[in-house]
Amino acid sequence: MNKKLLQYSLPLILIGLFAFTIYQSGRREKVLLGVLTKSLEAGHYEAYKIDDRISGLLHKKYIENLDYGKRYFLKSDIELLEKYKYLLDDEINNRSFDFFDLTVELIKKRQDEVEGFYNEILEKPFNFNKRDQIETDPDKLDFPKNEKERYDRWRIQFKYQTLSKLHYFLTIQENAIADKDTAFKVETYEAIEIKARKKVAGDYKEMFRRLHQLNEKDRLSAYLNALTESYDPHSEFMPPKEKADFDIQISGKLEGIGAQLQEQNDGYIKVARIVPGSASWKQGQLKAGDLILKIAQGDGEPRNLVGVRVTDAVQYIRGKKGTEARLTVKKPDGSIVIIPIIREVVILEETFAKSAIIKNDNSDFKTGYIYLPKFYVDFKNRNGRHCSKDVELELEKLKKENVDGIVLDLRNNGGGSLQDVVDMAGLFIKDGPIVQVKGRYGKPYILKDRDSRIQYSGKLIIMVNTLSASASEILAAAMQDYHRAIIVGSPITYGKGTVQNIVDLDRMVKNAYDDVKPLGALRLTIQKFYRINGGATQLKGVKADIILPDLYGGIEIGERELDDVIPWDEIDAAKYSVWENTIKGLDLLKAESEKRVNNNKDFALVNENSARLIKQRDITKYSLNLKKYRAKQKKLKAESKKFDNVFKDETSMHIFSLKGDLDKIQGDSLKLASAEAWRKQLAKDAYLEETMRIMQGIK
């Protein structure tokens, strides 16, 4: 299929379907609900109508979103809301918000009530000599029957959190005494208990401050996302701010000043990091640790940012290239300065592919290594960066270095551009099918590599783990089916086998509704993809050819752990021919790797830790008795201590940056420091070391 057609066919179809004029009120909420629901019904892969089944799912998911811990709503509230369980489809079709408005009114009322009494609970000392417990799994709890039961649930919650802080402060004091730290001020138990309660009270004061900042758009977004998640976990409504963030993540660039910000508990916006090479970095006055008090657009009136959510502050600070952001900043020494910064295009280098060369002491064998964090693409710029083009450039650089094999690292790569994964797979084969794609109607179609050039024909290993998903799984599966590469890593990958398209909701309505724009975007699941052998990666993922101990083995991660997922199935295989230089002796490579892994103390600890975490995750009840709690925590710490130094030591690998890459950053101390930090990180990567040894064993 033509690349442009693949990217834009759905929005064009939807424009034809949804440029309707049924809205009478012109209210933004009604327009947004209407265009979103019509998009879901007409475009989603599963072709579900919004009926009683969807209504029930929406009802459940939205209430969970509002009060997952079952600590705000009363049972009577849930009984009241239960009446709407199978009426929400009718409300949606009528563009009614009765249920939504009622939930907003109720949750705000209940949150205000809790805010009214939390200090009362935390003003009094807790008795930690009792033998009471807390249940931390909401699925094992019902909603409180009345206000008294809710009050007691919060009391238990505050007691548990105070107990955790108390243990932390007591441990610090005990360690200081044991170390004979004369500078440490020893406090009584009573003073430490008061400090613990004050810390919990401060945390909740900040939490309620942030709850008060939620506006109707925030709450409506939560409601609409409960609706999209009723179709599948990957369909998502993105308000305008989230859509802007998505564009930045997938393209690796933005227009702004190049400062990463964080919101502090006191309401200040703090500069966490200056992006190397950015406008802030070049201007030189803004530093990490500075507090941004105000923002003015050039000579305009300054806007106060104290108490403003960081997500909102970011929108004021970003802006078009060439415009001026005039920041009022408080320095760590207390001085107030005004810093003018001309916005530029900020390049987030950590988004992009990069490469290195790996050797070890006992061999002249050179392994080329390419790290790809995501399948990035600049949808707004045809000449912008594409991961497939960048990987091709890295391959060319490594070929010039005469490497003996190449490792492509897709660990933690959650996916991205479908077309780019097709183009990237084509770098390693002559031509042929890469992936099969099926929409809600019609037969599957095949996305092929039609370029007969082979950019790299040598030894190839693809590294994956449990968090390798979507486009990563397409590439790994295709190379596995062609017998072109060995897949090394976790037993199975994430298992996300669906394709999403971004629908610009502003394009779905007529110009008469310009007053309600921007509406945002819908990330819509429109297709399912299949391996060229016919099997879906959905739920089942890609199985590694050579399995290494899974760092996430004790954690429930993957598509199979999510609710309301699209099921696995299979279709007919595509016609393809396996790689002519199929890797020989895979069983021997597996056996040799298994022997090395079994003799590696760090890998043994990874397996042991996974077993420990699996055992712990079923424990949901905890004692609120101080002695029992502290004994349990000390036992857990002793058990976990042995895992603290896993993968801390450098391996036998020697990591080298490519000379051309180093030449480009000579004189830039920040980029040189970043390159050195990456080199040191790779040097400690036991998974990469084992992969390199597998590469050396390929005949």
- Total residue length of the chain: 699
Concerning whether 496 is annotated as a catalytic residue, the answer is yes
Among residues 352, 365, 439, 440, which one has the least CA distance to residue 404? 365
Pairing of strands 546-547, 486-489: parallel
Name the catalytic one among 89, 409, 481, 550: 481
Angle at 526 between CA 524 and CA 530, to 5 degrees: 130
Contact 34, 23 (CB under 8 A): yes
Task: With H, G, I as helix, E, B as strand and everything else as coil, classify residue 432.
Answer: strand
Give the C-alpha separation, 592 to 462, whole Å. 18
Give the C-alpha separation, 610 to 538, whole Å. 24
Give the C-alpha separation, 169 to 200, whole Å. 13
Burial of 4 (0-12, 13-18, 19+ CB in 10 A): exposed
Give the C-alpha separation, 651 to 99, whole Å. 59
Residues 6+ apart with CB under 8 A from 198: 122
Residue 433's φ and ψ, nearest 5 degrees, are: -70, 145
Give the C-alpha separation, 20 to 322, whole Å. 39
Given CA atoms 75, 78, 82, 85 in this order, what sign does their dihedral have? negative
Residue 274: enclosing H or E segment and its boundaries? strand 269-274
Task: With H, G, I as helix, E, B as strand and everything else as coil, classify residue 294.
Answer: strand
Residue 143's φ and ψ, nearest 5 degrees, are: -70, 145
**What tokens appear for 551 in the block?**
């760092």
Give the C-alpha separation, 91 to 18, whole Å. 19
Give the C-alpha separation, 422 to 447, whole Å. 7
Give the C-alpha separation, 169 to 626, whole Å. 13
Give the C-alpha separation, 411 to 466, whole Å. 8
Among residues 450, 382, 376, which one has the least CA distance to residue 420? 376
**What tokens appear for 401 in the block?**
């270095």
Contact 235, 243 (CB under 8 A): no
| Residue owning tokens 């001026």 | 324
Give the C-alpha separation, 557 to 690, whole Å. 24
**What tokens appear for 78 in the block?**
């849930």
Concerning whether 142 is annotated as a catalytic residue, the answer is no
Contact 179, 101 (CB under 8 A): no
Beta bridge partners of 370: 355, 408
Concerning whether 628 is annotated as a catalytic residue, the answer is no
Among residues 162, 100, 91, which one has the least CA distance to residue 125? 162
Residue 156: enclosing H or E segment and its boundaries? helix 147-178
Give the C-alpha separation, 406 to 30, whole Å. 53
Beta bridge partners of 255: 345
Give the C-alpha separation, 560 to 495, whole Å. 7
Beta bridge partners of 501: 524
Residues 6+ apart with CB under 8 A from 263: 269, 270, 309, 310, 313
Pairing of strands 445-449, 303-304: unpaired
Question: What is the DSSP secondary-structure string of 484-504?
Answer: -SEEEESSB-----EEEEEEE
Name the catalytic one among 470, 472, 593, 623: 470
Residue 398's φ and ψ, nearest 5 degrees, are: -70, -35
Name the catalytic one among 159, 253, 354, 496: 496
Catalytic residue positions, numbered = 470, 481, 496
